[in-house]
Amino acid sequence: MKAQVLLPKVFDFPFTYNSQTQGKIGNLVEVPFGSKNEIGVIWKNNYSEPKNIKIKNISKKTEYYIDKKLVDFIEWFSSYNMVPIGLVLKMVIGSSDKFIRIKDSSLILKKTNIKNLNLNEEQTLALKFLEKVNNRFDVSVLQGTTGSGKTLVYFERIKKIIKKNNQALVLLPEIFLTDDFKSRFEDFFGFEPAIWHSKVTPKQKRLIWKGIINNEIKILVGARSALLLPFKKLGIIIVDEEHDTSYKQDEGVIYNARDMAISRANFEGIPIHLVTSVPSVETYNNIQNKKYRHIKIIKRFDNYPLPKAKIINFNLNKFKNKFIASDTIDYVKEYLKKGDQALFFINRRGFAPYLLCKKCGFKHICANCSLYLTFHKIKNKAICHHCSFERKIEMKCKLKGNCELVMYGPGVEKIFEEVKEIFPKKRISIFSSDYLKKKEDAKNLFRKISDNKVDILVGTQMISKGFNFPRLNCIIVVDADFSGRGYDLRTTEKNIQLYHQLSGRAGRFSPESLIIYQTLTPHDSTLNELIKNKSEELLKHELSLREENKLPPFKRLVSIIISSKDYDLSLQGAREIKVKLSEIKNLEVLGPVDSPLVKIKKKFRSRLLIKFDSQIFMQKKITKVLNGLKISQKIKLTVDVDPINFA
């Protein structure tokens, strides 16, 4: 008896093996492959058998299996995202090592005390709305002002789901959110959640995997990859901060976890709730088209208002290389006097993004990428934020002696120094990934902020996401820039969401809070609408622009990056690929053009952009053409379905 076995490797097809017994699709089996044994999954028998090849036997069956709904989802996921099906399976079952050592004891989740948390009237109505659809596929959007208690609503929803012996998956966009989220979770449920992300230890992953497939773990909180775990009895999926672009995986297997979560819910036949304060343009469009159900929570906790907003016209000449305006300083002093905390927000890591010698004009550019190096004072080095290349900043000048470097533009470290000069007696901390490398660092900082042992925070974008700081009542956006970089069609959408999220960090427990926007473009229409809290008007306008320019969600885009160590080879390869793709009907192929970041990690990059009707499934035709190409081995192709950025 023959069986097709799919292996978690970079293959787009299963392998044929002999089986002593009738294997069921989804059974995990051990098979010989090359010089060692591997764990694979018995797959559908719709692949051709090899000829004139000695077929090996399945070594043994394991006690584990994945159900048909997940098998179907894996196949669809592979087709949609144009990635080998074996790599998708690898995301589901991981490595063989997991099964060799699967006899580890079960995961022990610590129990804690439940705090009495009651829903208010608005939250209760939202919960009833979500509960209208119970055991079938449905996409509902739970939209709420930051600080309105959306989390509590879906916690109540989950509680009822798991009481029926079902499982719940909660997706979060960033692993840094999990600790703050974990404490709120424990207060509500009385036990700690199982948490899944890239930093979890291999042993912990084995235990979680085993608990999930056996239905011993009822609630899993995770980042993107948690979506592909083999749940035994999944009853609901929650996508928190659904608008967040961190849901897009842009290396390895490229996919959008939010969109794939909706598809998985469809295959499982279960409800999914998208939770947000300002929805993504795609979600907003689906709300408008009545494709998604939608409920809004308007009031914040104890009816505290959103912060008042002020725009400060920032003129660089006026402030002579200082980045905090005198008016801003006056406002901050008022809040600090009351014992409140202040946050200076700048979305740039490091000290300065540009280094230039004023004598010879030398620019610090990465040796591997077409990108300026950012000076990081913490390391006293210039660092590339794409490939992590580092260089000491002391350079011999082409003219005489060492280069005299001028540092242009502020990073979080520069603002930190300036704030220390202005407020020398205040307790000031940096909230940035460079300073919170270890889990303990983040925990200690959160504790200090909550215990009011920090007066001023200086932070990057990671601070805008989901954190709850009770005394934070004054936020300063150091550089409110709405220009984008010319290669991101989502600039306006991202700014609306970022600044709305950011403003929601302030005034959660105070009737008087303030957000200050320092900007070189004080009359920018997006900024002025944003401070009136008219995010819906902005999304409407953005949607009409997208429709007018035939962009997503009205068209589907597939980006193909052709990279090579030889610039001419990458461009020539792109031209040849375009000729072949242009043979497909109803497909518009734009390019080739140089990527805005033309070189990354020593490879030159050319781009093609494929555009087609969003209602047509073109990926199989495109994949067939790409698989049939005979191109140089010196060229690498990267395919990105539904790209978010075009760098």
| Three-state secondary-structure class, residue 89 | helix
Asked if residue 485 and residue 523 are part of one domain, the reply reads yes
pLDDT at 614: 87
Residues 32 and 131 in one domain: no
Q: What confidence score (pLDDT) does residue 437 get?
A: 65
What is the arithmetic mean of pLDDT over 501-509? 74
Instruction: Look at residue 259 in the predicted model and tell me its pLDDT.
Output: 97
Q: What is the pLDDT of residue 361?
A: 85
| pLDDT for the residue numbered 463 | 73
Over the stretch 25-83, which tens digit does the pLDDT of each residue have?
999 999 999 888 899 999 988 777 777 788 898 998 888 999 999 999 999 999 999 99
* pLDDT at residue 432 in the model: 77
- Domain hosting 278: range is 121-301
CA distance 174 to 599: 28
Give the sign of the dihedral formed by CA 223, CA 228, CA 233, CA 238: positive
Contact (CB, 8 A) for 351 and 377: yes
597 and 534 belong to one structural domain: no
Q: Tell me: do 564 and 622 sit in the same domain.
A: yes
Residue 179 reports pLDDT greater than 70: no
Question: What is the three-state SS of 185-199?
Answer: HHHHHCECCEEECCC
How many other β-carbons are positioned within 10 Å of the β-carbon of residue 509?
16
The tens digit of pLDDT for each residue in 547-572 reads 999 999 999 999 999 999 999 999 99
Q: Is residue 401 part of a domain?
A: no
Give dist(CA 515, CA 531) in Å, integer.
9
Tens of pLDDT, residue by residue over 196-249, are: 988 888 888 889 999 999 999 999 999 999 999 999 999 999 999 999 988 999
Question: How does residue 465 score in pLDDT terms, banded at 50, 70 and 90?
Answer: low
Residue 393 lies in a domain: no
- Whether residue 313 is found in the same domain as residue 429: yes
User: How large is the greatest C-alpha to C-alpha distance in the chain, in angstroms?
Assistant: 84
Q: Is the domain of 420 the same as that of 533? A: yes
Say whether 249 sits in a helix, a strand or coil: strand
Residue 384 falls inside a structural domain? no
pLDDT of residue 491: 79
Handedness of CA 245, 224, 594, 610 (dihedral sign): negative
CATH of the domain at 521: 3.40.50.300
**What pLDDT is recorded for position 483?**
61
Residues 89 and 170 placed together within one structural domain of the fold: no
Burial class (CB in 10 A: 0-12, 13-18, 19+), 592: buried
Strand ranges (E), 100-200: 138-144, 167-171, 194-196
* CATH number of the domain within which 564 lies: 3.30.70.600
| Shared-domain flag, residues 152 and 22 | no
Tens-place pLDDT, residues 386-413: 888 998 888 788 888 888 888 888 888 9
Looking at 100, 131, 151, which one is the last position of a domain?
A: 100
> How confident is the model at residue 526, as a pLDDT?
80
Give SS3 for 360. coil
CB 591 within 8 A of CB 606: yes
Q: Is residue 355 part of a domain?
A: no
d(CA 292, CA 275): 12
Of 513, 546, 579, which residue is a domain's last? 546
Count the domains in the chain.
4
Angstrom distance (rounded) from CA 498 to CA 524: 16
Q: Give the per-residue pLDDT at 334.
A: 94
Residues 571 and 531 in one domain: no
> 386 near 645, Cβ under 8 Å?
no
pLDDT of amino acid 22: 74
Query: Which of the residue ranges 4-13, 41-50, 361-370 would you say has the lowest mean pLDDT?
Result: 41-50
Q: Are 415 and 379 in contact (CB under 8 A)?
A: no
Q: Is the distance from CB of 475 to CB of 506 less than 8 angstroms?
A: yes
Judge if 541 and 579 occupy the same domain. Answer: no
Domain boundary among 245, 276, 301: 301
- Would 282 be classed as within a structural domain? yes
In a domain, 214, yes or no: yes
- At residue 143, the pLDDT reads 95
Whether the link from the prior residue into 410 is cis, omega within 30° of 0, is no
The segment with the largest mean pLDDT, out of 115-119, 131-135, 418-422, 437-441, is: 418-422
Range scoring the smallest mean pLDDT among 192-201, 269-278, 443-452: 443-452
Query: Do 214 and 73 fall into the same domain?
Result: no
Q: Which tokens belong to 259?
A: 């969109």
Please, are residues 20 and 97 in contact by the beta-carbon 8 Å criterion?
no
Q: Which is more confident, 414 or 22?
A: 414
User: Would you call 568 helix, strand, or coil by DSSP?
Assistant: helix
On average, the pLDDT of the chain sits at 87
Q: What mean pLDDT do residues 118-138 have?
A: 92
DSSP state of 396: B
Q: Is residue 129 part of a domain?
A: yes
Same-domain pairing of 599 and 466? no
**Per-residue model confidence as pLDDT tens digits over 608-623:** 999 999 888 999 999 9
Q: Over range 179-188, report the average pLDDT.
A: 82
Residue 504 has pLDDT above 80, yes or no: no
Q: By the 8 A CB rule, do 234 and 268 touch? A: yes
Is 374 inside any structural domain? no
**Helices of type H across 481-637:** 491-503, 525-530, 535-548, 567-581, 619-627
Q: How far apart are CA 594 and CA 533, in angstroms?
A: 38
Across 487-500, average pLDDT = 78
- Using 50, 70 and 90 to split pLDDT, how confident is the model at 94? confident
Give CA–CA dist 51/53, Å, rounded.
5
- Structural Rg of the chain based on CA atoms: 26
Percentage of residues of the chain with pLDDT beyond 90: 51
The predicted structure's pLDDT at residue 34: 87
The pLDDT-based confidence of 283 (bands split at 50, 70, 90) is very high
pLDDT attached to residue 249: 93
Residue 592 neighbours by CB under 8 Å, 6+ apart: 562, 571, 574, 575, 578, 606, 607, 608
CA distance 255 to 641: 7
Return the closest-CA partner of residue 85 out of 628, 616, 627: 627
